[in-house]
């Protein structure tokens, strides 16, 4: 992709003191409004060094600079030096790049095949998949696609919560109140009811918690009865999760969950001991982190069984050996930030230099009417219900507006699911989300369906034109305000992907796609595309095609389909 700042920076070398190209490049910015120019040099910082007012610096440069290829006009405005590109040349170069790039447009090879582990989704076995789990799943999935697009080898790991005290709780509940045939029929919902009942009863009778811990210890010691129940619960859950992953079309390269590390944890504990990090405190084995301002990281409970941190430490060491990752990214709720800070620090204390490559990507929590979701209290909205409501709503709209559409069911799924995913990825991930059916099922405005609709509109125009876009179009014909704005926005795409990757923030792309769709729709309403003038039509179709490519590529980075007809 060509870089317009680079063109300008190059031409400025030698004209601003002895600043080199890189230094100049970093000073350049894009004006807030393209009518002010395409690239701008703010002269305020130069003011001190050059002992002139920013205004004078800009004016002098505007007068003295020799003509620059590809630049039509240079203007000094209130301390800024603004560069206006040759629109025809810019448009031509850009559209050619996009049309030739196709579904690869925007991709890069920054990663150069280096591997990145992305740990995401990680639902807990025996708990239903609810709206809260959606966030980790869709954010992680998008980060996976973004990194892959940028040339990384990605390993998506579903670190299933398939080990831990909650199974002890479930076993206790099952043995006390469970019914085998009911569970076989009711599946995960029955398990959830048992889990909720356990917590209700445990509030009255604290001995239940003790019993649960005992059962978990039996699991860790290889007790057959405990393990066979555990396995059964796990199967039921995995079946259920798979339905959701199928709907979302999310896949993983590894399902190595917490239980996978069972027989490796002993080695981790021994290593900690050898390195002199493990100390006993209140009958538990811990790593003291007081001097770093953290509470202790508990490695073994007083009964000798493992914890979350023990398993995460073990998993990280295993993954480094197996994948030799350049980065290992953990997509979990912000509530776990302290936990990650603690065990990242332990990895560092163990002497592993790659501790700096462990990255926690936190996100805000989902609440409903101001109340936190809680599996324990049975206060949940199941993801399956959300997806099926969204699909139902889409089906209704299609039936009303486009009843003859082929593949109605599949398109309804793609749009319904797209609406949910797009909505989840719309805000900065750290922001808490207040769940609202009304908002979720409103497909107007800045939504997935709006972007998908805009994409389908580009496809529809191209198929109506009934011809391939000729690559030899006359760009000087498409230089209106709306057209140039659209072209400029298309140009921004590769940079936005890079931003999304660097910030680990898929919402950068989500918002960009809304902007692009808006620019496209304005262009669409202002200009007729399928006009009689063939050259004009061809030039406009080139813009339409390029827009469609970018919308489609962008949606796919979010894990959303871009159907050609809706």
The residues in 303-332 that bind RNA, with binding defined as CB under 7 A, are 303, 305, 307-308
Query: Which position among 283, 324, 480, 502 is part of the footprint of RNA (CB under 7 A)?
Result: 283
CB of residue 36 to RNA, shortest distance in Å: 5
Residue with Cβ nearer RNA (193 or 446): 446
Continuous H helices in 205-307: 207-220, 224-248, 265-274
Site for RNA in 202-261 (CB under 7 A): 213, 258
DSSP at 283: T
CB of residue 113 to RNA, shortest distance in Å: 29
CB of residue 104 to RNA, shortest distance in Å: 25
Assess 464 for contact with RNA (CB under 7 A).
yes
List all residues 6 or more positions away from 491 whose beta carbon is below 8 Å from its beta carbon: 4, 90, 94
Residue with Cβ nearer RNA (154 or 461): 461
The single residue of 5, 59, 87, 127 carrying the catalytic annotation is: 127
The answer to whether 127 is a known catalytic residue is yes
CA 127/CA 234 separation, integer angstroms: 10
CB of residue 32 to RNA, shortest distance in Å: 5
The answer to whether 339 is a known catalytic residue is no
The single residue of 5, 59, 93, 130 carrying the catalytic annotation is: 130
Please give the C-alpha separations between residue 117 and each of 29, 324, 330, 398, 404, in angstroms, as whole numbers: 34, 9, 9, 39, 44
CB of residue 501 to RNA, shortest distance in Å: 15
DSSP at 560: -
Helical packing angle, 383-401 and 224-248, nearest 10°: 20
Residue with Cβ nearer RNA (115 or 459): 459
Residue with Cβ nearer RNA (281 or 324): 281
Each residue 3-32 as x (binds RNA by CB under 7 A) or -, in order, gives --------------------------xxxx
CB of residue 448 to RNA, shortest distance in Å: 9
Burial readout 275-300 (b: 16 or more C-beta within 10 A, e: otherwise): eebbeeeeebbbbebeeeebebbbbb
Query: Which position among 1, 278, 397, 498 is part of the footprint of RNA (CB under 7 A)?
Result: 397
Opening angle at CA 398, ends 395 and 402, nearest 5: 155
Site for RNA in 92-151 (CB under 7 A): 124
Site for RNA in 339-368 (CB under 7 A): 339, 364-365
> With contact defined as beta carbons under 8 Å apart, do 189 and 152 qualify?
no
Assess 301 for contact with RNA (CB under 7 A).
yes
Residue with Cβ nearer RNA (113 or 276): 276
Q: How many CB atoms lie within 10 A of CB 446?
A: 16
Residue with Cβ nearer RNA (475 or 544): 544
Residue with Cβ nearer RNA (45 or 356): 45
Query: Which position among 11, 256, 524, 559 is part of the footprint of RNA (CB under 7 A)?
Result: 524
Radius of gyration of the CA atoms of the chain, in A = 28
Helical packing angle, 448-465 and 408-424, nearest 10°: 130
Q: Which helix (H) or strand (E) holds 279?
A: strand 278-281
CA 469/CA 292 separation, integer angstroms: 61
> With contact defined as beta carbons under 8 Å apart, do 89 and 127 qualify?
no
The single residue of 5, 87, 93, 133 carrying the catalytic annotation is: 133
CB of residue 56 to RNA, shortest distance in Å: 14
Assess 37 for contact with RNA (CB under 7 A).
yes
List all residues 6 or more positions away from 33 whose beta carbon is below 8 Å from its beta carbon: none
Site for RNA in 528-547 (CB under 7 A): 528-530
Site for RNA in 405-434 (CB under 7 A): 415, 426-428, 430-434
Burial readout 138-157 (b: 16 or more C-beta within 10 A, e: otherwise): bbbbbbbbbbbbbebbbbbb
Assess 153 for contact with RNA (CB under 7 A).
no
CB of residue 514 to RNA, shortest distance in Å: 6
Size of residue set near RNA by CB under 7 A: 95
Pairing label, strands 284-287, 297-300: antiparallel
Site for RNA in 376-395 (CB under 7 A): 394
Catalytically annotated residues: 127, 130, 133
């Amino acid at each position: 992709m060509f870089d317009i700042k680079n063109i300008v920076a190059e031409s400025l070398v030698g004209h601003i003191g002895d600043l080199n190209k890189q230094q100049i490049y970093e000073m350049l910015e894009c004006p807030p409004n393209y009518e002010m120019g395409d690239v701008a040099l703010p002269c305020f910082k130069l003011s001190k060094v050059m002992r002139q007012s920013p205004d004078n610096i800009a004016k002098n440069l505007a007068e003295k600079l020799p003509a620059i290829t590809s630049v039509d006009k240079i203007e000094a405005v209130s301390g800024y030096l603004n560069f206006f590109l040759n629109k025809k040349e810019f448009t031509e170069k850009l559209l050619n790049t996009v049309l030739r790039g196709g579904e690869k447009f925007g991709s890069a090879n920054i990663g150069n095949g280096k591997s990145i582990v992305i740990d995401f989704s990680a639902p807990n076995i025996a708990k239903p998949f609810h709206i809260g789990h959606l966030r980790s799943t869709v954010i992680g999935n998008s980060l996976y696609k973004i990194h892959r697009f940028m040339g990384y080898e990605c390993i998506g790991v579903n670190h299933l919560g398939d080990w831990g005290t909650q199974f002890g709780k479930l076993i206790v509940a099952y043995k006390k109140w469970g019914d085998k045939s009911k569970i076989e029929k009711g599946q995960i919902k029955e398990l959830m009811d048992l889990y909720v009942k356990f917590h209700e009863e445990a509030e009255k009778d604290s001995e239940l918690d003790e019993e649960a811990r005992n059962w978990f210890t039996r699991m860790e010691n290889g007790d057959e009865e405990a393990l066979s129940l555990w396995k059964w619960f796990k199967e039921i859950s995995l079946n259920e999760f798979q339905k959701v992953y199928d709907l979302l079309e999310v896949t993983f390269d590894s399902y190595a969950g917490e239980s996978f590390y069972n027989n490796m944890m002993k080695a981790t504990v021994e290593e900690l001991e050898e390195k002199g990090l493990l100390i006993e405190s209140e009958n538990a084995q811990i790593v003291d982190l007081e001097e770093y301002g953290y509470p202790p990281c508990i490695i073994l409970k007083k009964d000798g069984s493992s914890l979350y941190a023990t398993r995460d430490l073990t998993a990280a060491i295993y993954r480094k050996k197996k994948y030799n990752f350049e980065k290992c990214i953990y997509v979990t709720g912000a509530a776990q930030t302290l936990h990650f800070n603690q065990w990242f620090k332990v990895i560092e204390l163990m002497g592993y230099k790659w501790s700096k490559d462990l990255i926690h990507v936190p996100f805000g929590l989902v609440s409903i009417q101001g109340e936190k979701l809680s599996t324990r209290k049975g206060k949940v909205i199941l993801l399956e219900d959300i997806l099926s409501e969204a699909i139902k709503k889409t089906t209704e709209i299609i039936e009303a507006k486009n009843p003859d559409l082929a593949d109605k069911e599949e398109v309804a799924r793609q749009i319904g699911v797209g609406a949910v995913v797009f909505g989840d990825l719309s805000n900065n991930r750290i922001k808490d989300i207040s769940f609202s059916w009304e908002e979720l099922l409103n497909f107007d405005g800045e939504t997935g369906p709006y972007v998908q609709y805009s994409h389908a509109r580009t496809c529809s125009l191209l198929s109506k034109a009934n011809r391939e876009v000729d690559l030899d179009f006359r760009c000087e014909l498409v230089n209106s305000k709306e057209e140039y704005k659209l072209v400029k926005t298309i140009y921004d795409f590769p940079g936005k992907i890079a931003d999304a990757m660097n910030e680990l923030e898929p919402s950068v792309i989500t918002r960009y796609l809304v902007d692009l769709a808006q620019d496209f729709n304005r262009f669409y309403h202002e200009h007729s595309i399928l006009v009689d003038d063939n050259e004009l039509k061809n030039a406009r179709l080139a813009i339409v095609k390029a827009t469609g490519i970018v919308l489609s590529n962008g949606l796919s980075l979010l894990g959303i389909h871009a159907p050609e007809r809706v």
